[in-house]
Amino acid sequence: MKIKVVYDNKVGVPGLVEDWGFACLIESGSERILFDTGAEGEILIDNMRRMNIPPTSIERIVISHDDWDHAGGLSAILDVCDAPQVHVLPSFDRDLLDTAKRSGQLAPVDAPGWLTDKIWSTGPLPRINPVTETGDEQALAIKGRHGFLLLTGCAHPGLINLVQHCRKELGSAPRMIMGGLHLKDLSNEEVTGVIAELRGMGVARIAPCHCTGAEAMRQLGSAYCTNYVESAVGEIIEWP
């Protein structure tokens, strides 16, 4: 199993383009699944082509939540894909749902469940601060030989909540977490507390990006040392 970062606000490989947002490609056997689409379709498609990823090879698209920096590229990628299944939450913005319908294979996710034999969706989870943030989010748990990798778009439901949800539904906490962790607005003390909880629940590796925040990434890097994995456009994370 390989996860290739195709959209992020940081570049890991020269020649690719950075921009605020997130998207990655999951390669599971012969199947290719796009998780989120970044903000701009042109940048997404250009990065994919420079990474030798033909858009026509995408069989599924999963949208974590309907913020512009995760769903903005959907229309453009659908223009160059070959009718992929699009996994969305029923609560998404109506315009986004109408765009997703263009694939001809809309696949609403209204509960936790398996999308493939190795990829599981948390189902819709509410954001941690419904007063200032609205809309549900889903994350993915990817099954490997060593357990689950939790892949998040922004972790708006709360990182600890997501891990606890996976542990409750799947019987074990993820061994690795990758994606936007939305720790950028937390104090150093709060981030330290989150790290302690993650380690206490058995999260052994971490690959943060996007909305995690530079200072939170520094703290995570210090805590996880060699088990901290760089995640930026062009990087490839393997989960055997």
Q: Quick check: helix, strand or coil at residue 24? A: strand
Tell me what the mean pLDDT of segment 209-225 comes to. Answer: 97
- What was the pLDDT predicted at 135? 81
The model's confidence at residue 29, banded by pLDDT at 50, 70 and 90, is confident
- What was the pLDDT predicted at 130? 52
- Give the residue from 152, 167, 165, 144 showing the smallest Cα distance to 206: 152
pLDDT above 90: residue 189: yes
Greater pLDDT, 5 or 135: 5
pLDDT, tens digit, for every residue of 60-97?
A: 999 999 999 999 999 999 999 989 999 999 999 999 99
pLDDT above 90 as % of the chain: 94
Distance CA 125, CA 10 (A): 27
Tell me what the mean pLDDT of segment 192-216 comes to. Answer: 97
Name the domain count of the chain: 1
Tell me what the mean pLDDT of segment 194-200 comes to. Answer: 96
Tell me what the mean pLDDT of segment 5-11 comes to. Answer: 98
* Those residues with Cβ within 8 angstroms of residue 209's Cβ, 6 or more apart along the chain or in another chain: 5, 8, 9, 10, 22, 178, 179, 180, 231, 232
Lowest mean pLDDT among 120-124, 125-129, 164-168, 199-203: 125-129
pLDDT averaged over every residue in the chain: 95
Tell me what the mean pLDDT of segment 47-51 comes to. Answer: 98
pLDDT above 70 as % of the chain: 98
Count of CA atoms in the C-beta half-sphere (13 A) of 18 = 11
pLDDT, tens digit, for every residue of 87-138?
A: 999 999 999 999 999 999 999 999 999 999 999 999 999 987 655 566 899 9
DSSP3 helix / strand / coil % (the chain, rounded to 5): 30, 25, 45
pLDDT above 80: residue 28: yes
- What was the pLDDT predicted at 198? 97
- What was the pLDDT predicted at 32? 97
CATH value at residue 177: 3.60.15.10
Tell me what the mean pLDDT of segment 151-163 comes to. Answer: 96
- What was the pLDDT predicted at 38? 98
In order of 5, 208, 223, the CA distances from 227 in angstroms are 18, 12, 9
- What was the pLDDT predicted at 132? 53
- What was the pLDDT predicted at 168? 96
Greater pLDDT, 38 or 240: 38
Domain residues for 88?
Answer: 2-238
Q: What is the pTM of this model?
A: 0.96
DSSP string across 49-67: HHTT--GGG--EEE-----
Phi, psi at residue 116, to the nearest 5°? Answer: -140, -175
